[in-house]
Structure 1
């Protein structure tokens, strides 16, 4: 009986796990709906349909479909560098793709490049924290003071699937934490009591 139950659970759960790794047809369609330099619509917390997506926990992705994720990251770069609404970071859920991919401006590196991080995981936080007002592309016009650790350690993958582990501090750490919050359905307004 237990053996049958185990096989049943594997048969039910395995396809769900596998499909969580692959891009859904609607995600592929949205990503491919423009060229690599076409900005995407940023979801707004004031629209109930958008808020539903923004409050979801994003799914882990497999870098196996590199072309699709690369195009998404290029379109996200066009979005976050738009001179009308520029930012220092953006998460895939903010452009309607509920996947664990963020784009972060690296103020800790020469020329402040934007960097793609796939499936980022924060592995350690410093005890030292600092408070600063943050803005968000999904909540325009709102600035919220948020207390965050000064330094973090994290691991992530790049578009090619290479794994990286590093320690980051200051403003860049704050950006990573802010974008990582989006992957977990957390907005800056959720930090109001902190």
Structure 2
């Protein structure tokens, strides 16, 4: 019986993140402005936004590259906008429950932003590190979060190339924070409960 229940749970989870075609709503939201226009950031203080932020995000299909490139460009404008000045952003933070994030790479020369499609963490280090975090979707709160120091990650870049790499330090933290958003997890869920 336990095996059947486990298989059922696994099946349900795999359906929720399985790639589906882009919806009409998603297409309209992404195309509601030009590539150089920022998008509205979803906030935990808005109940509709909160529901979006708490949902499991769907995988992205490679066949729809143009729309995801447009989303990536608009997310970059949003995260770099003077109102925000973030180091990462996830698609749910602009109202799109898809597995796409942008992260600033402090481990690379020039600290570029990169787009990651369908990212997944393959391994975590046992070594943990505590550091103050903030979030564009929770603008009034910053607090200390403990996370693994090193992760091994697998993702596709915007061209569809599969990449697997090890990251550590602040860059690994940004990746973990943004991937949490794809799983409906906020950094406040990871705060130490006294």
Please confirm whether the aligned pair reaches a TM-score higher than 0.5, indicating the same fold: yes
- SS state at 2:136 partner: coil
The one-character-per-residue Cα deviations of 1:76-108 (angstroms, maximum 9, x if unpaired) are: 000000012110000000000000000000000
1:27 aligns with 2:26: yes
Gaps of 5+ in 2: 1-11
TM-score normalised by L of structure 1: 0.89
> Does the Cα contact within 8 Å between 2:41 and 2:137 map onto a contact in 1?
yes
Alignment of 1:53-132 (within 5 A): 53-132=52-131
Q: CA deviation at 1:20?
A: 4.1
Q: Max radius of gyration: which structure?
A: 1
For residues 20 and 169 of structure 1, the distance between their equivalents in structure 2, rounded to whole angstroms, comes to 29
For residues 141 and 36 of structure 1, the distance between their equivalents in structure 2, rounded to whole angstroms, comes to 28
For residues 19 and 46 of structure 2, the distance between their equivalents in structure 1, rounded to whole angstroms, comes to 26
For residues 46 and 74 of structure 2, the distance between their equivalents in structure 1, rounded to whole angstroms, comes to 22
Q: CA deviation at 1:193?
A: 3.1
- SS state at 2:118 partner: strand
Runs of 4+ in 1 over 4 A off after TM superposition: none
Provide the residue aligned with 1:6 in structure 2: none
- SS state at 1:29 partner: helix
TM-score normalised by L of structure 2: 0.89
1:184 aligns with 2:176: no
> Does the Cα contact within 8 Å between 1:105 and 1:112 map onto a contact in 2?
yes
The one-character-per-residue Cα deviations of 1:43-69 (angstroms, maximum 9, x if unpaired) are: 000111100000001001112111100
Q: CA deviation at 1:141?
A: 1.5
> Does the Cα contact within 8 Å between 2:39 and 2:75 map onto a contact in 1?
yes
RMSD: 1.7
- SS state at 2:172 partner: helix
For residues 138 and 123 of structure 2, the distance between their equivalents in structure 1, rounded to whole angstroms, comes to 28
> Does the Cα contact within 8 Å between 1:120 and 1:154 map onto a contact in 2?
yes
Gaps of 5+ in 1: 1-12
May I ask how many residue pairs the two structures share in their alignment? 180
For residues 191 and 174 of structure 1, the distance between their equivalents in structure 2, rounded to whole angstroms, comes to 13
Provide the residue aligned with 1:37 in structure 2: 36
Q: CA deviation at 1:189?
A: 1.1
For residues 48 and 141 of structure 1, the distance between their equivalents in structure 2, rounded to whole angstroms, comes to 17
- SS state at 2:44 partner: coil
Provide the residue aligned with 2:154 in structure 1: 155
Q: CA deviation at 1:158?
A: 1.1
